[in-house]
Amino acid sequence: MKTIRTIQFLLLLAVPILAVAAKVPDPLPSWNDGAAKQTITAFVQATTTQGRSTFVPPAERVAVFDNDGTLWPEQPMYFQLAFALDRVKALAPQHPEWKTKQPFKAVLEGDLKTVLAGGEHALIELVMATHAGNTTEEFARIVEEWIATAKHPKTGRRYTEMVYQPMLELLAYLRANGFRTYIVSGGGIEFMRPWTEKVYGVPPEQVVGSSIRTRFEMRGSKPVLVRLPEVNFIDDKAGKPVGIHSHIGRRPIAAFGNSDGDLQMLQWTCIERQPSFCLYVHHTDAKREWAYDRTSGIGRLDKGLDEAKAKGWTIVDMQKDWKVIYPTVPK
Amino acid sequence: MKTIRTIQFLLLLAVPILAVAAKVPDPLPSWNDGAAKQTITAFVQATTTQGRSTFVPPAERVAVFDNDGTLWPEQPMYFQLAFALDRVKALAPQHPEWKTKQPFKAVLEGDLKTVLAGGEHALIELVMATHAGNTTEEFARIVEEWIATAKHPKTGRRYTEMVYQPMLELLAYLRANGFRTYIVSGGGIEFMRPWTEKVYGVPPEQVVGSSIRTRFEMRGSKPVLVRLPEVNFIDDKAGKPVGIHSHIGRRPIAAFGNSDGDLQMLQWTCIERQPSFCLYVHHTDAKREWAYDRTSGIGRLDKGLDEAKAKGWTIVDMQKDWKVIYPTVPK
């Protein structure tokens, strides 16, 4: 009997030891232990543990992510602008008039400063000249080709190799816990959809973005959607809650952004009536990525930073909270 | 040994007998056996049987359904118009000017003929006066209250008790086979979302419809979306492929409609490059429902009927193909 008791005692001791041994691997290995990581895992536990007052049914576990500056960089310019500039160069032979017409002339001469000096008007003109005039299928193929080959001027990486590794882990962690992850970006919806599933695991129907108008046409027996040079919807700032409501029809319970352009999306998400989580990625890492906030032209984070602090939203200090920035790319 | 062999032999015999005994119940019990039912089940088998050349991966199994006339009736007027008329009556005390102003005067006097004689202009005025001016949350609550209490003038049923039983079975059958079912309706997206999940099993993010503009506002610390009296998008005719592409970003492989307003959606779906299925519900049952097609003001099916015949799309003869129209409602 004594032997059996001893074995029982040892078995009891072993239970916690085994529990430790069987512990699931860290779902966020690229995140340093700290307040940001802790608030994320605490929120997921709070909303997914059955019986807790903060439990949220899977259907309502909607998480929305900004893209530029939140899932991948936006410096020295939005990656979609790099795409537009490359398109101008590719289309230039068909547009001899661009040699003398701004902002195209500046693009062809590699004079980014003059392009940007043209402000929003010049950018819209570039987008319309490079994003419209073809069918949705043709445009998707052009984006696929570009994203598979173009490289970032600073890092020499493909743009899809510059997505943030810690955010990839966060997307996967949320999905593993029954969340649906949406992208809600000021970028073009049709610019993102061809590659977001492969790169982020986000399927086309979970991408919300800015858009130009399209028109249905029968070309012989072939139905097409033609992309028109007219703005349809700008999914930025106060447009983000509008885009979320239109596409999802539910209020998210978690929102992730990096700039004042995401503030309304975070305000819309983090209200008192529900368990909710809001997070800002703060670009503090001039060495490994870029450092900018209150005075930046692109991705300014000023009002949002104050509101995040006042409301206790999570602020990721990129330099301190992230072990790595980009995924390891096979040489 | 001989006994064991015999048992083994009997067991082998039993396998097909058990397979027959365990046959799943008919997933479409309200459909009479006939061409329509056969084409549906054949399509589902073709697209879901692994190894067949027509197999479609679950993520791409997108089926789109018109609502008015396809999932529930549209006679003697669109049910959403009945909602708008009821709202005019409810709001009339706050609008004394409506007593003398058309089309409101006619609504208050129960003179539907004059209302409809005002054409599209009058209808838009009614929609704007009854669907705008509140927040998205307030509007959803108004719809929920109306749909829970209002009754159809002819049948005395609640509107949600007039959904087509055979189509409810079809929605469930497709979902059981890994399809995602979307509604793509000319009706208001915000008019449908509050009840489509409960009634059809279609969650808010899978509802596409017409919309008015909304504007984000902070009311003190409370963020709201205010509904504005401006048309945003008309999800009808050539608008349906546009709405599908905007919300889903994938081409459906199955489309279900009942009128010329659905023709472009069916054209967009049933192209040669993929296994696809297009179906028209033909209203042929004056006794149990309504009978109308080529000359009807509401839900005209003329050009679509010709194209369906030419292209070999499935046409449901409501009178012959459906055993029942509406679900059994407990008394």
Q: What ipTM goes with this model?
A: 0.92
b/e for B312-330, b at 16 or more Cβ within 10 A? ebbbbbbbebbeebbbeee
Average pLDDT of the residues in B67-91: 97
Give pLDDT tens digits for A258-297. 999 999 999 999 998 779 999 999 999 999 999 999 999 9
Determine which of A53-67, B20-34, B168-182 has the lowest per-residue pLDDT on average.
B20-34
Six token digits for residue A302: 């000023």
Give pLDDT tens digits for B222-259. 999 999 999 999 999 999 999 999 999 999 999 999 99
Average pLDDT of the residues in B194-200: 98
How many CB atoms are closer than 10 A to CB A268?
25
pLDDT of residue A98: 97
User: By a Cβ cutoff of 8 Å, what residues of chain A touch chain B?
Assistant: 59, 136, 189, 193, 203-205, 207, 211, 214-216, 218, 222-223, 225, 238-239, 241-242, 245-250, 264, 267-268, 271
Whether residue A16 is predicted with pLDDT greater than 70 in this model: the reply is no
- Helix (H/G/I), strand (E/B), else coil: B105: helix
Average pLDDT of the residues in A138-165: 97
A190 touches A136 (CB < 8 A)? yes
pLDDT of residue B330: 75
DSSP B99: G
Give how far A261 is from chain B: nearest CA, Å. 13
Q: Cβ contacts (< 8 Å) between A204 and chain B: which residues?
A: 248-250
* Amino acid, single-letter form, for residue B331: K
pLDDT of residue B226: 98
Q: Do A216 and B247 touch (CB under 8 A)?
A: no
Whether residue B21 is predicted with pLDDT greater than 80 in this model: the reply is no
Whether residue B319 is predicted with pLDDT greater than 70 in this model: the reply is yes
**Out of A204, A215, A216, closest to residue B249 by CB:** A204
Q: Cβ contacts (< 8 Å) between A203 and chain B: which residues?
A: 59, 249
Strands (E), chain A: 62-65, 180-188, 207-219, 222-233, 254-257, 277-282, 314-317
Q: Do A216 and B223 touch (CB under 8 A)?
A: no
The CATH number of domain A29-74+162-321, selected from 3.40.50.1000, 3.40.50.150, 3.40.1280.10, 3.30.56.10: 3.40.50.1000
Number of residues written out for chain A: 331
Question: Which homologous superfamily is B28-75+162-321 in?
Answer: HAD superfamily/HAD-like (3.40.50.1000)
Phi and psi dihedrals of B278, rounded to 5? -125, 140
Average pLDDT of the residues in B300-325: 98
Average pLDDT of the residues in B296-301: 95
Whether residue A1 is predicted with pLDDT greater than 50 in this model: the reply is no
pLDDT of residue A142: 98
Q: Do B215 and A249 touch (CB under 8 A)?
A: no
pLDDT of residue A253: 98
Task: Look at residues A75, A155, A82 and name the one whose alpha carbon lies nearest to residue A326.
Answer: A155
Distance in angstroms (rounded) separating the CA atoms of residues B114 and B102:
9
H helices within B179-317, ranges in order? 189-200, 239-247, 263-269, 303-311
Average pLDDT of the residues in B127-143: 97
Q: Cβ contacts (< 8 Å) between B239 and chain A: which residues?
A: 216
Give how far A22 is from chain B: nearest CA, Å. 33
Measured between its terminal Cα atoms, the distance across chain B in Å is 63
More confident residue, B30 or B329: B30
Q: Cβ contacts (< 8 Å) between B247 and chain A: which residues?
A: 205, 247
Average pLDDT of the residues in B317-326: 98
Phi and psi dihedrals of B70, rounded to 5? -115, -40
Whether residue B10 is predicted with pLDDT greater than 70 in this model: the reply is no
Question: Dihedral sign, CA of A233, A234, A239, A241?
Answer: positive
- Output the CA–CA distances (angstroms, integers) from residue A200 to A163, A204, B82, in the order listed: 9, 11, 45
User: 């939140």: which residue's tokens?
Assistant: A70
A103 preceded by a cis bond (ω within 30 of 0): yes
Phi and psi dihedrals of A273, rounded to 5? -70, -10
Give how far A43 is from chain B: nearest CA, Å. 22
A318 touches A325 (CB < 8 A)? yes
Q: What is the mean pLDDT of chain A?
A: 93
Q: What is the mean pLDDT of chain B?
A: 93
Phi and psi dihedrals of A213, rounded to 5? -70, 155
Q: For A119, left (φ over 0), alpha (ψ -120 to 50), or beta?
A: left
Percent of chain A whose pLDDT exceeds 70? 93
- Minimal-distance CA residue of chain B relative to A205: B248
Whether residue B1 is predicted with pLDDT greater than 50 in this model: the reply is no
pLDDT of residue B331: 65
* Amino acid, single-letter form, for residue B11: L
pLDDT class of A201 with cuts at 50, 70, 90: very high
**Out of A136, A216, A249, closest to residue B193 by CB:** A249
Six token digits for residue B295: 């000359």
Question: Dihedral sign, CA of B143, B149, B153, B158?
Answer: positive
Hey, of B216, B219, B263, B264, which one would you mutate to test binding to chain A, going by the most A CBs within 10 A of its CB? B216
* Burial environment of residue A193 by CB neighbours within 10 A (0 to 12, 13 to 18, 19 or more): buried
Distance in angstroms (rounded) separating the CA atoms of residues B296 and B226:
36
- Minimal-distance CA residue of chain B relative to A311: B221
Six token digits for residue B73: 């009736």
Q: How crowded is the C-beta side of B97, counted as CA atoms within 13 Å?
A: 1
Q: Do B267 and A225 touch (CB under 8 A)?
A: no
Sketch the domain layout of chain A as residue ranges: 29-74+162-321
Whether residue A20 is predicted with pLDDT greater than 60 in this model: the reply is no
Percent of chain A whose pLDDT exceeds 90? 89
Q: Do A242 and B249 touch (CB under 8 A)?
A: no
Whether residue A21 is predicted with pLDDT greater than 60 in this model: the reply is no
Distance in angstroms (rounded) separating the CA atoms of residues B228 and A21:
58
